[in-house]
Copies of this chain bind each other. A is one copy, B any other.
Amino acid sequence: MRRLVLGAPLPTYAAGHQTLRKRMALPIFASDPLSSVAYAPQELLLILAGGGLAFIGYTPWIAAAVILLLTVVVVSYRQLVRAYPSGGGAYTVAAKNLGESASLIVASALTVDYVLTVAVSVASGVDNVISAFPALHEWRVEFAIVCVALLVTINLRGVAESSKAFALPTYLFIGSIGVMIVVGAFRAATGNLPLAESAGYTLQHHDLARAALAFLLLRAFASGCSALTGVEAIANGVQAFKPPKARNAQATLVAMGAVAVSLFAGVTYLALKTHVLYTANACDLHGFANCDTKAQRSVMAQIAASVFGGHHAVGFYAVQATTALVLFLAANTAFNGFPLLGSVLAHDRYAPKALLARGDRLVFSNGVIVLGTAAAILLLAFRANLNLLIQMYIIGVFVSFTLGQFGMVVHWTRQLRRGDTVHRTTRALHVFRAINFVGAATTGVVLVIVTITKFTHGAWVVFAIMPVLWLLMFRVNRYYGAVADQVAPDAVTRFGSAGDYAVVLVHTVNKPTLKALDYAIAADHKRLAAVHVAAEPELTESLRAAWRALEIHVPLTVLESPFRDVSSPLVEHLERDRTLHGSEVVSVYIPFYVYGHWWEGFLHNRKSRRVRHRLQLCPGVAVVLVPWLLDSSQSLYTRPARPLPGLERRGLTALPASRKITTQRRFHRPIQR
């Protein structure tokens, strides 16, 4: 069962870099951008419907603008991959060309975006499931939260993104939507395409002033731009591609762009042909019964029902299932993309160094939990309402687009100034710069439009959170700088400790204590004492008796502890010793248990950890940890390495956790003389 869910354990010797073929990279990186086809046409229609039926006629123009923008961004990002094949995307470009402040703006925008990718994708996925099973409408929020919890669990357990289970749904989605578009277009051409279920409803008619009209069209465009989310994923993950990395990433980017444009255009076309209506508030649809308690079916669901012949057709269920699946996959990509961004930030000292390290499960777990919790809070706060969540979504995307492309313009300009024409002609550099300038200008204009049209609808939240994240990363960087200054070797500090005193901390006579004592004897310290703190008087007596019975020659020093506390008497003893023997190095031997189950941690070890923390503050003391392996620790030797989130996007595989130790397990038990 476990193998079925997680895949076979990685062979422990097969470590190192693992790269992705294009046909695997496409589904992994493209589930996020392609899945936006599920909500972008709907959001576009929704805003237009707010103005009345007449406005739906503007749909083709706005869709065309979105497609043009998508093309510009894809072409522009091709340049970015070419120039920065090491990956890192807009952040790296901004950092190298625009300086610290701009790069941190991009980093905080991307962070916000990852949270929203999870929230929006899950909300849309839930919408599409509800469209197929309307009875679930009542449990919308709970359902969404359960989905996020599931994603968190999957990523905490560890799963390889490159497994076929992750690639298949994206291809199925492309396939099912493709079939829907082809069948729909054929039926439309033969005059045989039924209208959508909402085509019969009427809309409130609004008389809008010319200014309001323009604003409405801009808002519709801004909402349609949600089709562009996720395009940057490939540029961030170039390292995951098979060589030639940059070339392959570019090809995949173009393929992804072509598919995204086709699907977006096809779905929008069918939405118009089937006369789908979709409104922010279901009760604005005159004729829609029980609008208070029933949910509108998603645009995708209505189209699928029209094309394939109703809500019980196989085709309808296929489209809904693959749409929901690819949306959950898109949410999952955020859990992999976030650590990728984190590792780049960590390299530049803007995020915890541990994000760089391979195999620190704890740190990655924290990241997964933070991301999931933030998304869950958003889903709770906005009742898993896609239309509300999407208002916040694309701000971050366009901030990073604009700054990334602008950074590229600076990049090419610098190359031109340096006259770096060894690899490329001046003419080519001019063309490249022009492409990126168009990209920067276009996305910049869109960012302004999006901000203006969405600010009061919820986008202000993003503008409130981004400065906080910015400051956090800035402070982390300065903290690392301060620590580096503190520990840098200097001419003033001189080392040269003397003295060698060892203390074995004895709580009771058991094998772990005897082992610690044995190690201390073997290390042949100049002075050695066994020290017991008499926190429990009855224990002390039995200890003295056992000490005599075992004929241990190391003297047993018993320290009084009036307050039943272990560390204070020990610290005082060490301080007394220090006044007698001068400043010396004291090695305190502390035995501790090694165990194999996480829950055993709740049952052991706390006391010795507390003593250790106290001794850290004691001058001249080093703590020697002598492990005792409980039987349960056996499982540690054979535990297979599980992949961490984001590892594959960085072109890495899981660490070989248990190489070579396997055979030597019993060796660690006390050695016979």
A629 in contact with B606 (CB, 8 Å)? no
Distance of A486 from chain B, by nearest CB (Å)? 6
Docked-complex contact B487 and A606, CB < 8 angstroms:
no
B672 contacts A494, CB within 8 Å?
yes
> Which of B479, B518, B602, B622 is in CB contact (< 8 Å) with A624?
B622
Interface SS of chain A: helix, strand, loop or mixed?
mixed
0/1 interface trace, chain A 619-655, chain B, CB 8 Å (1 if under):
1111111111111010011000000000000000001
For A636, the chain B residues whose CB sits under 8 A away are 617
CB-contacts of A1-53 with B (<8 A): 15-16
Copies of this chain present in the complex amount to: 2
Does residue A357 face the partner (Cβ distance < 8 Å to B)? yes
Of chain B, the residue at the smallest CB distance from A666 is: B619
For residue A526, which residues in chain B have a CB less than 8 angstroms away from its CB? 524
Contacts of A622 in B (CB 8 A): 519, 589, 624-627
Shortest C-beta distance, A594 to chain B (Å), equals: 5
Report whether B358 and A565 are in contact in the complex, using a CB–CB cutoff of 8 Å.
yes
A521 to B565, CA, bound (A): 33
Q: Is the CB of A476 within 8 A of B363?
A: no
Q: Is the CB of B497 within 8 A of A607?
A: no
Q: A16-B562, A497-B519, A628-B487 are in contact. Are A610 and B360 (CB under 8 A)?
A: yes
Q: Is A362 engaged at the interface, CB distance under 8 Å to the other chain?
A: yes
A671 touches B583 (CB 8 A): yes
Q: Which residue of B lies closest to A525 (CB)?
A: B523
Q: Is A157 an interface residue (CB 8 A)?
A: no
The residues of B that contact A357 with a CB separation of less than 8 Å are: 606-607, 610
- Let me know if A480 is at the binding interface, CB within 8 A: yes
User: Nearest B residue to A625 by beta-carbon distance?
Assistant: B623
Name the one of B352, B496, B655 contacting A518, with C-beta atoms under 8 angstroms: B496
Interface-forming stretch among A168-176, A236-244, A419-427, A657-665? A657-665
Contacts of A564 in B (CB 8 A): 358
Chain A residues 291-311 with CB under 8 Å of chain B are none
Take A522-B497, A594-B616, A630-B483 as given contacts and tell me if A660 and B575 are in contact as well, using a CB distance cutoff of 8 Å. Answer: yes
Q: Among A16, A525, A610, which residue has the most Cβ atoms of chain B within 10 A?
A: A610
Query: What's the minimum C-beta distance from A310 to chain B, rounded to whole angstroms?
Result: 37
Known: A483-B630, A494-B672, A511-B493. A476 touches B353 (CB 8 A): no
Residues of B within 8 A of A668 (CB): 617-620
Residues on B with C-beta less than 8 A from A628 are 487
Structural contact, A637 and B617, CB atoms closer than 8 A: yes
Interface residue? A495 (CB, 8 A): yes
Contact A616 B627 (CB under 8 A): yes
Q: Is B563 within 8 A of A656, CB to CB?
A: yes
A229–B183 Cα gap in the complex (Å)?
68
Complex CA–CA separation, A511 to B492 (angstroms): 11
Q: Which of A469-503 contact B (CB under 8 A)?
A: 476, 479-480, 483, 486-489, 493-500
Whether the pair B518, A497 counts as a contact (CB closer than 8 A) is yes
Say yes or no: A594 contacts B617, CB within 8 Å.
yes
Complex Cα–Cα for A519 and B550 (A): 32
**Bound complex: CA A510 to CA B366 (Å):** 29
Q: Are B523 and A511 touching (Cβ within 8 A)? A: no
Chain B residues within an 8 Å CB radius of A417: none
Q: Which residues of B contact A550 (CB under 8 A)?
A: 489
* A515-B500 contact in complex given A16-B563, A354-B607, A656-B568, C-beta closer than 8 Å: no
Would you call A374 an interface residue if the criterion is a C-beta within 8 Å of the partner chain's C-beta atoms? Answer: no
Measured CA separation A625–B512 after assembly (Å): 19
Answer yes or no: A138 CB below 8 A from chain B CBs: no
Instruction: Report, nearest first, the 6 A-B pairs whose CB atoms are least far apart.
Output: A496-B673, A354-B606, A495-B518, A487-B510, A497-B522, A522-B585
Q: 6 additional contacts, CB 8 Å, given A486-B511, A617-B668, A620-B668?
A: A480-B603, A571-B660, A572-B660, A617-B661, A618-B661, A618-B668
